[in-house]
Amino acid sequence: MAKIFCIANQKGGVGKTTTTVNLAAGLAKVGQRVLLVDLDPQGNATMGSGIDKRSVELSVYDVLLESASIKEAAVKADKCGYDVLSANRELAGAEVELVDLEHRDQRLKMALAAVEGDYDFVLIDCPPSLSMLTLNGLCSAHGVIVPMQCEYFALEGLTDLVNTIKQVHANLNKDLKIIGLLRVMFDPRITLQQQVSDQLKAHFGDKVFNAVIPRNVRLAEAPSYGLPGVVFDASAKGSQAYVEFARELVLRAPTL
Ligand code: ADP
Ligand code: MG
């Protein structure tokens, strides 16, 4: 049965999409069967997996509105080694269309139930807001992976996310928990980042993943080639760190 994780953080630009595509590619590289679900209408994870969001016939939008199954809508990201349930602008409309529907926050969960045996991991790239889309992600998942930069306001932003997760846990999804915090765009030469990193470990203990993702320009360049960094340049420091992270997650998975 697949482990289903949301990659979430209420802030934008913190590395959610970069983490989702590179973790998916890293997991595929170490032999795992992976489905990436793009829940962000910007479709960055779709494009970053080499799938043109403007030309996909069926997307996560059709799945949420129950006009397609995941089996029908998911496509293979050939060079990346995983499957993608894509997203595009159409998804922004789903927010409004879901409002009057039954089980509006459980739609993705119900759809994933049919493919749980086909994958080892399902990774859901969430938009930066607490919308009905994010809620569908959180209701489907066993847990949340939180990418974060070790900056001054990092801990403050985390409080909101932790409260959201607590509320969803209490009311909608008893399984939901924080799987771990992933330090991204890390620069060890910056003293403040070291300090925040130490604070994180003091606060959250082993909820902080051992893997640390460095700031690495190859990871930022890769999306313009429609590839995760892990596939675009496997030897880059950032790519190696994501594969390390994938290994760590595979080791931890049985206990999650
Ligand atoms: P989010 O999905 O949270 O909005 P992104 O993954 O799109 O964030 O990342 C925001 C920007 O930071 C992108 O331009 C991305 O290429 C860049 N980026 C993310 N992680 C790294 C990293 N480890 N090193 C360098 N640039 C990164
Ligand atoms: Mg994103």
In tens, the pLDDT along 2-46 reads 999 999 998 899 999 999 999 999 999 999 999 999 999 999 999
Closest ligand (CA of 223): 1
Condensed to tens digits (0 to 9), the pLDDT of residues 192-218 reads: 999 999 999 998 999 999 999 999 999
Closest ligand (CA of 43): 2
The pLDDT score that the predictor gives to residue 145 is 98
Provide CATH code, domain 3-255.
Answer: 3.40.50.300
The pLDDT score that the predictor gives to residue 159 is 87
Q: 67 CA distance to ligand 1 centroid (A)? A: 33
CB atoms within 10 A of CB 233: 19
Residue of 168, 154, 97, 156 lying closest to 126 (CA atoms): 168
Report residues whose beta carbon is within 6 angstroms of any ligand 1 atom. Answer: 12-18, 44, 184-185, 213, 215-216, 219-220, 238
DSSP state of 70: H
What would the mean pLDDT of 217-238 be, rounded to a whole number? 98
Q: 103 CA distance to ligand 1 centroid (A)? A: 33
CB atoms within 10 A of CB 255: 5
The pLDDT score that the predictor gives to residue 249 is 98
- The answer to whether 134 and 39 are in contact (CB under 8 A) is yes
Residue given tokens 């209420």 in the structure block: 10
The band of 99, judged by pLDDT with boundaries at 50, 70 and 90, is: confident
**Residue of 18, 144, 239 best suited for mutating to test ligand 1, as the one with most atoms within 8 Å of CB:** 18
Q: Is the pLDDT of residue 146 over 90?
A: yes
Q: 86 CA distance to ligand 2 centroid (A)? A: 13
The pLDDT score that the predictor gives to residue 119 is 98
The H-or-E segment that residue 136 falls in is helix 132-140
Condensed to tens digits (0 to 9), the pLDDT of residues 111-133 reads: 999 999 999 999 999 999 888 99
Q: Which atom of ligand 1 is nearest to the CA of 185?
A: 23
The band of 154, judged by pLDDT with boundaries at 50, 70 and 90, is: confident
Rounded to an integer, what distance in angstroms lies between the CA atom of residue 182 and that of residue 192? Answer: 17
Helix (H, G, I), strand (E, B) or coil at 182: strand
Annotated domain spans of the chain: 3-255
Q: Which atom of ligand 1 is nearest to the CA of 18?
A: 6
The pLDDT score that the predictor gives to residue 153 is 79
Helix (H, G, I), strand (E, B) or coil at 82: strand
Rounded to an integer, what distance in angstroms lies between the CA atom of residue 184 and that of residue 33? Answer: 24
The pLDDT score that the predictor gives to residue 256 is 84
Q: Is the pLDDT of residue 157 over 80?
A: no
What would the mean pLDDT of 149-176 be, rounded to a whole number? 90
What would the mean pLDDT of 236-244 be, rounded to a whole number? 98
Residue of 106, 95, 98, 144 lying closest to 124 (CA atoms): 144
Q: What residue owns the CA closest to ligand 1's atom 20?
A: 15
Q: Is the pLDDT of residue 248 over 90?
A: yes
Q: Which atom of ligand 1 is nearest to the CA of 20?
A: 6
The pLDDT score that the predictor gives to residue 95 is 86
The pLDDT score that the predictor gives to residue 240 is 98
DSSP E strand stretches across the chain:
3-7, 34-38, 75-77, 82-85, 121-125, 143-148, 178-186, 208-214
Q: 8 CA distance to ligand 2 centroid (A)? A: 9
DSSP state of 215: P
| DSSP sequence for 33-58 | -EEEEE--TT-HHHHTTT--TTT-SS
Question: Among 68-72, 81-85, 92-96, 116-120, which is the least confidently predicted range?
Answer: 92-96
SS3 content of the chain, % helix, strand, coil (to 5): 45, 15, 35
Q: What residue owns the CA closest to ligand 1's atom 6?
A: 15
The pLDDT score that the predictor gives to residue 197 is 94
Q: Which atom of ligand 1 is nearest to the CA of 9?
A: 3
- The answer to whether 209 and 181 are in contact (CB under 8 A) is yes
pTM exceeding 0.80 = yes
Mean confidence (pLDDT) of the chain:
95
Using alpha carbons, list the distances in angstroms from residue 111 to 6, 71, 136, 137, 183.
16, 9, 11, 12, 31
Q: Which atom of ligand 1 is nearest to the CA of 216?
A: 24
Q: 42 CA distance to ligand 2 centroid (A)? A: 8
Query: Radius of gyration of the chain from Cα atoms?
Result: 17
Two structure tokens written together for 157? 């932003």
